[in-house]
Amino acid sequence: MSVRDDILGRLRRQLGRTDSTTLAARERVEATLALRQTGPRAAADALLDRFIERARAMISSVDRCATEAEVPAHCADWLRGQGLPTTLVVAPALAALDWAGAGLDARIGAATGDDLVGVTGCFRAIAETGTLMLCSGPQSPAVNSLLPETHIAVVPRQHIVADMEAAWAEARRELSAWPRAVNFVSGPSRTADIEQTIVLGAHGPYRVHLLIVG
């Protein structure tokens, strides 16, 4: 008998377990694991409001526009209002938008350490936590949300889902191949490792601005 078997055997005897009660206990555990348990979820018609509420709680700022064509102008207004640079690096997926027409100096591609503002889309946005789900790839370089001090994310309204389970379910259904990285962004990077004082920008952007389209 191994040490493990000896320990587990003594525990079973202390619990008064027999072969028949052990089988019943195992069945109860398996039934519990098989039962999908979730907490309260926002109704489908409340996903947008819930996402905005939770995103702001995560210290993200939020703006809205009616169409994707309006995205560059809203980005320009927000950057100027914050006193931030209007030079930015944009994910290739958003290259077709008229960034120059909005007065922005946009470079299409992946961010480097010199870029101060990075723009991305998002695969899904999770209403339960105000979190973005970003899938890396040639059209959506992961570094655009990680290296610059300011991250602007374009969030199509129809990409807002209730919870993490829904986001993963849509990834399994829609992605023909898994990306090299799936990143979740819940507001600016932060830490409270030192004296439990929140410090923003510790491992990534100081600011996260969400522009919801639709």
pLDDT score of 29: 85
Mark 44-79 as b/e (b = at least 16 C-beta within 10 Å).
Answer: eeebbebbbebbeebbbbbeebeebeebbbbbbebb
**Predicted local distance difference test score (pLDDT) of residue 195:** 74
Look at residue 39 in the predicted model and tell me its pLDDT. Answer: 67
Report the chain (214 residues): mean pLDDT per 10 consecutive residues.
Answer: 86 83 84 74 84 94 95 96 95 96 96 94 95 95 94 96 93 92 90 74 86 95
Indicate the pTM of the whole model.
0.79
pLDDT at 118: 96
pLDDT of 37: 67
103 backbone φψ class: left, alpha, beta (φ>0; ψ -120 to 50): left
pLDDT of the residue at 15: 83
Q: What's the confidence (pLDDT) of residue 51?
A: 95
